Amino acid sequence: ELKVEQNPLFLSMQEGKNYTIYCNYSTTSDRLYWYRQDPGKSLESLFVLLSNGAVKQEGRLMASLDTKARLSTLHITAAVHDLSATYFCAVALATYKYIFGTGTRLKVLA
């Protein structure tokens, strides 16, 4: 069975701290996507990772992909309240299909 697992599922952190969200997947894939979803809103594309070793950074967020380990990470640096949201990773299969992770609900406390 194809699985995409994220951990932690819930993360409460203080402003200014660093943390990493992990996305493990059970199938071969060389494309992985990260999305952000605010409560009651749609999914917003954050990063597209297209190859082994890919690293992308935007502001306080940095995503990386290790296709051999079947692992992607989303690192948060010096968290701020505005980063509070649910973060999803999605693994692309050889065709068109995404398999979405369970999501990580992040709450940044002032």
Partner 1 sequence: DARVTQTPRHKVTEMGQEVTMRCQPILGHNTVFWYRQTMMQGLELLAYFRNRAPLDDSGMPKDRFSAEMPDATLATLKIQPSEPRDSAVYFCASGWWGGYNEQFFGPGTRLTVL
Which value, to the nearest 10 degrees, does the dihedral of the CA atoms of residues 57, 89, 3, 20 take? 60
Nearest CB to partner 1, comparing residues 22 and 77: 22
Member of 13, 30, 48, 70 binding partner 1 (CB under 8 A): 48
Positions in 76-105 near partner 1 (CB under 8 A): 88, 92, 96-98, 100, 102-103
What is each CA distance from 17 to 7, 33, 35, 47, 65, in whole angstroms? 17, 24, 21, 22, 22
CA neighbours closer than 13 Å in the CB half-sphere of residue 11: 28
User: By CB under 8 A, is residue 24 in contact with partner 1?
Assistant: no
- Residues of this chain that interact with partner 1 (CB under 8 A) are 31, 33, 35, 41-45, 48, 50, 88, 92, 96-98, 100, 102-103
